[in-house]
Amino acid sequence: MTQEILLKNCTVYDPMNRIEGEVTDICVRDGKIVESVSTDAQVIDVRRRAVLPGGVDIHSHIIGSKINSARSMCPEDHRRAVVPKTPTTRSGVGEAVPSSFVIGQLYTAMGYTTVVDPAVPPMKALACWEEIPDVPVIDILMLPLFSNNMITYHYIEGQDMEGLRGYIDWLLRATGGFGVKVVNPGGTYAWAHNLNAEHLDQTIPEWDLTPNQILTSLVRAVEELRLPHPVHLHPNNLGRVGNIETTIAQLEAVRRARRTSKRKHILHLTHISFDSIASVDEGSTRWEDVASGGLELAEYTNQHDHFTVDLGQITFGPAMTMTADGPFQYLLHRVSHTKWMNITVDVELPGGAGVVPYSYSPKSLANSVQWMIALEYALNIDDPWRCVITTDSPNAGPFVRYPLVISWLMSRRERETWLETLNSRSLSRSTLSGAEREWSLYEIAIATRAAPARILGIDERKGHLGAGADADIAVLDHMPSDSSLSDHPEEIVRVFHSTYLTMKAGTVVHRNDVVNPSGVRRRVFSVQPTLPEATRKRIHNEVGQLIDRWYVHSHTNYPVPRRYRQALESPIPLRPAT
Amino acid sequence: MRVADDVVCPFCGCLCDDLRVTIDDNDVITRVDNACALGKTKMLHRMDDRLLVPEVRRDGKLERTTLEEAIDTAAQLLAESRRPLIYGLSSTENDAHRAVYRLAEMIGAVVDNTSSVCHGPSILGRQESGEPLASLGEVRNRAQLVIYWGANPLQAHPRHVRRFVRIPGEYIRDPRTERRMWVVDVRRSATARIADRFIKVEPGSDLEVIEALRALIKGRTLDVSEVGGVPIDELAEAAEELRSVEYGVLFYGLGLTQSRGRYRNIDAAIRLVRDLNRFGKWGMMPMRGHYNVTGANETSTWTTGFPFAVDYSRGYPRYQPGEYTAVDMLRHGEADLLLNIAADPAAHFPRDTVRRMRDIPIINIDPKRNLTSLMATVNIPAAMAGVECDGAASRMDELPLYLRKLVDPPEGVLPDRDIVRLIIERIEGAVDER
């Protein structure tokens, strides 16, 4: 049966179609946005409220072994926030690391409809697929980890690029993954020897490989495969004073490899708050000397266009750090003296991922400077299309704090209020206090909707409101004609915290503060690269043999069975060949 | 005749997935290769002691009945209960757990799994200090020293030593010379007899021994001649060796979790392994017993935020080990109904707790006739996950594996998840009728 909805009197912010604040109607049929609907359509008059595409979160840890280990390790997190069952929703708990049902419900209320989990240990993908039905409403994409994996190294060391492409193809198909995640290449592997990889040209234990070789080979393979999303990079030396040098060196290494690709952006640099730490004393790695590298990275960004970023904006209060960067997590544990989990994942992460609870405080010099990095960056870049708002949830704070981040970007007044609370020594470590720029609602729509959809390569159906898009729509409880948000920062927080109405695939899933996930169509987006059949056959055999040699479970039990995928999985087309 | 290869064994936390199962034309499993005696017995003797027909107790006697009536009775008992307790889960697959949490939320029950009587203290230790977790693949590939503390895998996890320790790995070519195996236990167990070093501790003194090792590792001297029955020289020698290891793993069993000190033992063990990470790379792993007790912790955690001992009576999950744990709920006379699924509390709980079980209605869902089934008010036979129905389970190092269906369950017997869904539907239907 055809289902039609007419959203009347929308003040539309749809950057992909260059619409800024135009009042118009939006037509929806069978889960898609269409040009027109019949007179039978259900009419919802939103009375000139701001209407944006559903939010697209490019980097948020929502499923799988790391967040679940964090949940089980930290019951103290959950007692602060309990969510009772309602007639339409399941119950749950959790502030920094909410339980699965709560995650889907919170995103829905905020108007987000698509979320990327950016760090899936491939051999544990089955657990993610099991968990996904319990994260309601949102569409999900998963990025498996590739960069500290012995099979990846086997092909790169053997200079077998066809093999590397074949392995990426094999693994993405086996796990239902969407793209290639690179985390501290070489470093987490070295962690199996209690070491890290601090220099991009150092050789890592047991392999004749360097972090730069691993990164650039994976970038090349992803470009050759024409995956929709470029390599998603968490750089080396994360969370260390002075690491802006490493980050820019890695960006440069990738830039030099660019000539192999026709695509403009060939790298996504994630959570820059953690990757762009400078020092007042060149070469110093002491936290006493910490300074913001946000401006330096912004200037580099304005000069070079081969990459995109997301912010990983620090927010104050309880958070939970979790990365596939074991040595970083151990370091954080040693300085913060809190609990530490290290999660070894067979040959895919011999050193192991880590989880450490952490709370950011404006009293801390380090945390105050970290807070300024991403804001300084965002207020100094020319092109918001290369910048996505995230908190690397829950690493720099849970995603429910996005409204605060938006208020800092949109309102200078709000920033000044927060700057006053910071450690006073931090203010001279960044240019942020002098920044006058205020992001517009249109720019926010770019950095939370259009840009992430485009960077992910899902922009045919996500991140816009033109005909053919999925009918994922966020109606904010805000009339742009009545007031300016930048003068009313508390309004920014209110309207982005809970929408007037959220629609997902043509179903109203949030209205009048009630989340209702029932009957909504949802998907997990994957990719299916194209490869010559002979290559696929060779790699299938080789990978099977390598798994049986290195793992202690059989390669036949490795892929996630269809039973878990068939109702959800939907492949996204590859980038065109030209 | 059919042969299924790479079958996952649904017996213990090793989830060995290299079994070859031969099935004849009458759907009878005739042969199981590669499995240990425990796994083999489970598959070959799957029809022994089965519950095949639902039963309801009338006038003190269990009588055969239809599935429909059994579900009706179960639904009615659950609806009438004011403080229902749901317990078990560790010997069934994850989708059954997910159905159980929905039921628990709906009726406001307490839901607990068997880890509250096995590795519950390990979880409490993790909540105190975190935990550096090892993986079985990397144990085989890299571990130079493997310690079993309070565990006797030769009997409880018969293939553990052979599959992960006394076998070459990528960077351990000769396990006899390049990998050492230690056992710490209160008696010379079967595993201790094949170990390279056996440290015999007095019962109940594990905590002291661990703390002494931590001090020695940090270079402190202890002014005593022995700790927990172990001569100080022996401990000093062990500490010296621990410090020199490049890659080490500590496996720990119920000898550590359920002896004096309980979660304090585990907390100390975690801190020992954490300390050792300053010298080499160290990880640890609980020797999980039931094949999917790890999965029960995981499904409970993503659904409720907590790994076991969850109370839904307020409409949202609360966690309190010692209060919402099954033994405590029963011993305090708090639970007025027990729904047992995929466990046998009557066989494993303390005697005074089992005595309490006699006072309340018990709904029992299990493939087998066991001690709990003899006490039950309602028995509902279930299919055996990983043999008669599919699903997923987690290995002791948290690797999820897909369990296949090899043969049909006995006629009329459903998987746990379907039984629980029928109960949910029946209760929902009753609510609608009102």
Question: In the predicted model, what is the mean pLDDT of residues A369-387?
Answer: 98
Q: What is the pLDDT of residue A578?
A: 60
pLDDT tens-place string over residues A56-110: 999 999 999 999 999 999 999 999 899 999 999 999 999 999 999 999 999 999 9
Residues of A in contact with B312 (CB under 8 A): 91
In sequence order, the 6+-apart residues with CB closer than 8 A to the CB of B133 are A69, A341, A342, A343, A344, A352, B283, B284, B285, B397, B398
Share of chain B above pLDDT 90, in %: 99
Residues of A in contact with B306 (CB under 8 A): 71-72, 75, 78, 93
Least Cα separation, residue A534 to chain B (angstroms): 26
Average predicted confidence (pLDDT) for chain B: 97
Q: What is the pLDDT of residue A576?
A: 86
Partner-chain contact B6 A561, CB within 8 Å = no
Residue B433: pLDDT band (50, 70, 90) is low
pLDDT tens-place string over residues B147-185: 999 999 999 999 999 999 999 999 999 999 999 999 999
Residues comprising chain A, all counted: 578
Average predicted confidence (pLDDT) for chain A: 96
Share of chain A above pLDDT 70, in %: 99
pLDDT tens-place string over residues A413-433: 999 999 999 999 999 999 999
CATH topology of domain B120-286: Dimethylsulfoxide Reductase; domain 2 (3.40.228)
Q: Where are the domains of chain A?
A: 4-53+465-515, 142-159+179-456
Q: Where are the domains of chain B?
A: 55-118+291-386+410-433, 120-286
pLDDT tens-place string over residues A287-334: 999 999 999 999 999 999 999 999 999 999 999 999 999 999 999 999
Partner-chain contact B138 A347, CB within 8 Å = yes
Q: What is the pLDDT of residue A260?
A: 63
Residues of B in contact with A350 (CB under 8 A): 138, 141-142
Partner-chain contact A552 B171, CB within 8 Å = no
- Residues 182-211 of chain A with CB under 8 A from chain B are 191-194, 206
A4-53+465-515 has CATH 2.30.40.10 classification: yes
Chain B contact for A514, CB < 8 A? Answer: no
Q: What is the pLDDT of residue A55?
A: 98
Least Cα separation, residue B29 to chain A (angstroms): 21
Least Cα separation, residue B374 to chain A (angstroms): 35
Pick A90's closest partner by Cβ from B105, B126, B138: B105
CA distances from A119 to A59, A60, B394 (A): 9, 9, 19
- Residues 145-174 of chain A with CB under 8 A from chain B are 150
Question: Tokens 């517009």 appear where?
Answer: A440
Partner-chain contact B298 A127, CB within 8 Å = yes
Pick A91's closest partner by Cβ from B127, B163, B315: B315
Predicted confidence (pLDDT) at residue A459 exceeds the cutoff of 90? yes
CA distances from A367 to A89, A393, A428 (A): 36, 16, 14
Question: In the predicted model, what is the mean pLDDT of residues A537-561?
Answer: 98
Predicted confidence (pLDDT) at residue A241 exceeds the cutoff of 90? yes
Q: For the domain with range B55-118+291-386+410-433, which CATH number is right: 3.30.70.270, 3.40.47.10, 3.40.50.740, 3.40.50.300?
A: 3.40.50.740
pLDDT tens-place string over residues A10-41: 999 999 999 999 999 999 999 999 999 999 99
pLDDT tens-place string over residues A150-173: 999 999 999 999 999 999 999 999
Predicted confidence (pLDDT) at residue A577 exceeds the cutoff of 80? no
Q: What is the pLDDT of residue B432?
A: 66
Predicted confidence (pLDDT) at residue B315 exceeds the cutoff of 90? yes
Chain B contact for A29, CB < 8 A? Answer: no
Question: In the predicted model, what is the mean pLDDT of residues B192-198?
Answer: 98
pLDDT tens-place string over residues A472-514: 999 999 999 888 898 999 999 999 999 999 999 999 999 999 9
Question: In the predicted model, what is the mean pLDDT of residues A147-151?
Answer: 98
Chain B contact for A479, CB < 8 A? Answer: no
- Residues 527-566 of chain A with CB under 8 A from chain B are 549-554, 556-557, 560-561, 563-564
B202 burial class (0-12, 13-18, 19+ CB within 10 angstroms)? middle
Predicted confidence (pLDDT) at residue B39 exceeds the cutoff of 60? yes
Q: What is the pLDDT of residue B407?
A: 98
Closest residue in chain B to residue A79, using alpha carbons only: B318
- Residues 37-66 of chain B with CB under 8 A from chain A are none
Residue A282: pLDDT band (50, 70, 90) is confident
Pick A344's closest partner by Cβ from B135, B302, B317: B135
Partner-chain contact A342 B247, CB within 8 Å = no
Question: In the predicted model, what is the mean pLDDT of residues A438-457?
Answer: 98
